[in-house]
Amino acid sequence: MRKLALNDEILLKIEKPARYIGGEVNSVMKDPKQVKVRFAMCFPDVYEIGMSHLGIQILYDLFNRYDDVWCERVYSPWVDLDGIMRKEKIPLFALESQDPVRDFDFLGITLQYEMCYTNILQVLDLSGIPLLAKDRTDREPIVIGGGPCTYNPEPIADFFDLFYIGEGETAYRQLMDVYLETKAAGEGREAFLLRAAREVPGIYVPSLYEVRYGEDGTIASFLPVKEGVPKTVRKEIVMDLDSVPYPQKPVVPYVKATQDRVVLEIQRGCIRGCRFCQAGQIYRPVREKGLETLKRYAVEMLKNTGYEEISLSSLSSSDYSHLEELVEFLMETCREQKVNISLPSLRIDAFSLDVMGKVQDVKKSSLTFAPEAGSQRLRNVINKGLTREDILHGAGLAFEGGWSRVKLYFMLGLPTETEEDIRGIAELSNDIAALYYETVPKEQRTGPVQIVSSTSFFIPKPFTPFQWAKMCTKEEFLEKAALTKRSIREQLNQKRIKYNWHEADVSVLEGVFARGDRRVAEVILKAYQKGCLYDAWGEYFKNDLWLETFEQCGVEIGFYTTRQRKEDEIFPWDFLDCGVNKSFLWREWERAQRGEVTPNCRAQCQGCGAARFKGGVCLEARKEHEE
Amino acid sequence: MRIRVKFAKYGALRFIGHLDVMRFFQKALRRAQIDVAYTGGFSPHQIMTFSAPLGLGMSSFGEYMDVEIHSHQGKEDFLNRLRAVCPEGIEILDAKALPAGTQNAMAGVAAASWEIGFSDPHKSFEKLKENLPGFLAQEEIFVTKEGKKGPRQVDIRPGIHECAIREGKLCILADAGSSGNIRPEEVTERFLSFCKEAMPDHPSAFTVLRRETWENAGTPEAPKFQPLDAMGEDF
């Protein structure tokens, strides 16, 4: 029988012990004596969140296909177990073998959002691994970071031995081989890191670069300190998504995970180019999976997991070329197998409403629009192609189809935003409510229309046209939220509109981490040592402690958030090459300020630079051009 | 037709809660490609019922689940399919077809037999054996139960049908289900108190195994207990 790292007394004392016992359906067991590489793959948040993440399932499946590698999973212990592990000195363990992470060859940590940064330190700390990479010896695992936050890894660079930039399917095997070679040659950590940086594409070893700052606090130079280490690290990318493995037997948790369904990834990247969106830039160019591949995956995955729901995953499913055929196939298959279909990120039009009307209970479900800004002017600034007419037309169709609940998502604090734009949020919400009463005759109404408008605060992200932009202060954010609320209350249909907004403190901190440099690491380390953890969880976020720590470290928040950057500023992330040129982003930033819309990749190539990868939508466009 | 599946739960899976066991079987039946019957509507779900929930940390060799199916290729095929998709810690012991009109697995539960031992290998119920006749000779054994209207005193003595000490373990057959549920730790606590022994303050001090779940084929006054799948037939 599998041994457990935690005894019965502890397991009966903590919340949801099933988070820590492993042994889930489709989890992979191997004989540790038969493998050469032990890889602990970590999502630094609680189990139910981490188990919902597709990226880890992809790499877990990929690594375990290698006979000489055993990849296991690790998640952040919840605060109750955290306390017990510290008190009783129980080292953090991987779920499958229940062995201490400290004894593994690699600890890979996926970085999906900035607010998990203190949880990284918790994982290292509980594992007994020195928090700073420079303090580690040959006895400890190599700590690797991956995922979207590595597109500015600098605020956490001190905690990692290396970062893998880009999609994981391409270079990990090479990285492991270099590791095995250096180990066989009796060489240590330093030798491995140097070889990895020199030989393996997509690898960034922070300790091999030196950053110098100018008098104004911005970066003066960012250069490798050893010969042969690349000045620029280019992201890794899979050009033919049908040729790489996809987890057809994903691990199925016992406890209900946030994402409790089969996830079918249909494409990577997005053609839209919304100027606030990082994913829309760093995953360029758009690459689709083949229709037949997806049909096969869907059938296999449903069979292997037993899930009662399947969901499509992509940044913008409506842009997938074979969406209609795929959805028709799924509806057929799912009807037979009594499986539900969930269709997120669909544009609301006649087709999607028809499909949704067939797969969900219209009366119970709501429609979602993400106009992101309240006025057409500001939507042009952010290059959100959605017009007022699109929204009202879609909502009108939906009301005719029987829906009466609409969710709207907006951002506050976007560049060039005025009070007029904010009032536009209230007016648009009101117009949609009014449209319901115009569209649906009284006798056909099932109940009052419900509009839920939510706003989040805009945070400029690296590798977007807004990376130069000034972010709002907390006070400005709160004023904007108050104005939104007031404006909604002034509307005729205000009783039908519910307004939600977020706390501003955490957005400010996220803004610092998003565009921070290496000097922010000290703040993260000290805040963690003072007790900051699970910052993404409102009830555990300790803003006062953070502010105090910034003060103590002499790190000024405004330098990272509210400062408008100049065109020629060297950003902390400029040494990375995500495929999109800085000159393109600057061009987009200028167009944004003029309120000029840029067509999407399929309509007209903008020469962003991603064509260098020679595939996806970039070739598609050219093919048509040649014809 | 309705199939009553008997299964065991042990090892690491003792820490999976009742709702998660239900969710587990919903998926397992799909993986096994068993022709399960579904309810209608927009979100159809499998027609299934479970016997009495098992407390977290306890093992069992007497768990039952009823599932409505449309078709099958015989009992062996049914068992093989289900066994092939179950992990270590959930073991399918048997499956029987239920005659029409049988009460469902939840409603049918009348009693459960339990084996309680000390987790500490140096401790045993053996030396407390001599107290057993006196314990059972009591006319009333009161425990405090938390009810909707606050705590109340309940006499559990009539619900204890057997109580013995075998191989160092306290073995109990006691009422279970909706008509008066007796928890094994209540009996253990009362017995230790009767023996003037201290009750450990943490449930992990004991190992608790549910050996079997029983239905009553007799009357409430003269019960005749039989395993929950006794009236089922091979198929």
**pLDDT of A534:** 97
A399 within a domain of the structure (yes/no) = no
- Strand, helix or coil at A80? helix
Q: Give per-residue burial for B36-65: e unless 16+ CB within 10 Å, then b.
A: beeeeeeeeebebbbbbebbbbbbbbbbbb
**B201 in contact with chain A, both atoms CB, cutoff 8 A:** no
- Considering only CA atoms, which of B181, B197, B192 is closest in space to residue B55? B181
Contact residues, A window 255-274, toward B, CB-based 8 Å cutoff: 255-256
> What are the mean pLDDT values of chain A's consecutive 10-residue runs (627 residues total)?
92 97 96 98 98 96 98 98 98 98 98 97 98 97 98 98 98 98 96 98 98 97 97 97 96 94 96 96 97 97 95 93 94 89 82 83 81 96 91 91 92 98 97 94 88 97 98 97 97 95 94 98 98 96 97 97 96 98 98 96 94 92 51
Can you say whether the dihedral through the CA atoms of A537, A543, A547, A553 is positive or negative? Answer: negative
Q: Number of folded domains in chain A?
A: 1
CATH of B2-97, one of 3.40.1180.10, 3.30.70.580, 1.10.1060.10, 3.40.50.720: 3.30.70.580
CB contact under 8 A, B119 and A254: no
- Average pLDDT in chain B: 94
pLDDT digits (tens, 9 = 90+) for A299-318: 999 999 999 999 999 999 99
Residue type, A226: K
pLDDT digits (tens, 9 = 90+) for A332-344: 998 888 898 988 7
The DSSP symbol for B65 reads: E
**pLDDT of B4:** 97
A69 within a domain of the structure (yes/no) = yes
What whole-number distance in Å separates Cα of residue A537 and Cα of residue A548? Answer: 20
- Find how far residue B3's CA is from the centre of its chain: 18
**pLDDT of A102:** 98
A602 within a domain of the structure (yes/no) = no
**pLDDT of A622:** 54
B chain contacts of residue A254, beta-carbon cutoff 8 Å: 13, 16, 20, 23-24
* ipTM given for this complex: 0.94
A chain contacts of residue B57, beta-carbon cutoff 8 Å: 8, 11-12
**pLDDT of A24:** 96
Residue with the bigger pLDDT between B106 and A174: it is A174
Residues 6+ apart with CB under 8 A from A159: A120, A121, A124, A131, A132, A133, A143, A521, A525
| Range of the structural domain that residue A223 is part of | 8-234
What whole-number distance in Å separates Cα of residue A91 and Cα of residue A161? Answer: 21
What whole-number distance in Å separates Cα of residue A18 and Cα of residue B208? Answer: 18
Q: Other CB atoms closer than 10 Å to residue B140's CB: what's the count? A: 9
pLDDT digits (tens, 9 = 90+) for B34-84: 999 999 877 788 999 999 999 999 999 999 999 999 999 999 999 999 999
A chain contacts of residue B17, beta-carbon cutoff 8 Å: 18, 255
**pLDDT of A351:** 85
A176 within a domain of the structure (yes/no) = yes
**A360 in contact with chain B, both atoms CB, cutoff 8 A:** yes
Q: Do B60 and B227 meet the contact criterion of CB atoms below 8 Å apart?
A: no
Nearest to A12 among B28, B88, B204 (CB): B204
For chain B, domain boundaries:
2-97, 111-227
B150-155 and B142-147 strand pairing: antiparallel
- Domain harbouring A33, CATH code: 3.40.50.280
What whole-number distance in Å separates Cα of residue A459 and Cα of residue A412? Answer: 9
pLDDT digits (tens, 9 = 90+) for B155-167: 999 999 999 999 9
**pLDDT of B48:** 95
Nearest to B44 among A8, A254, A338 (CB): A338
- Strand, helix or coil at A367? strand
A611 within a domain of the structure (yes/no) = no
- Mean pLDDT, residues B5-24: 97
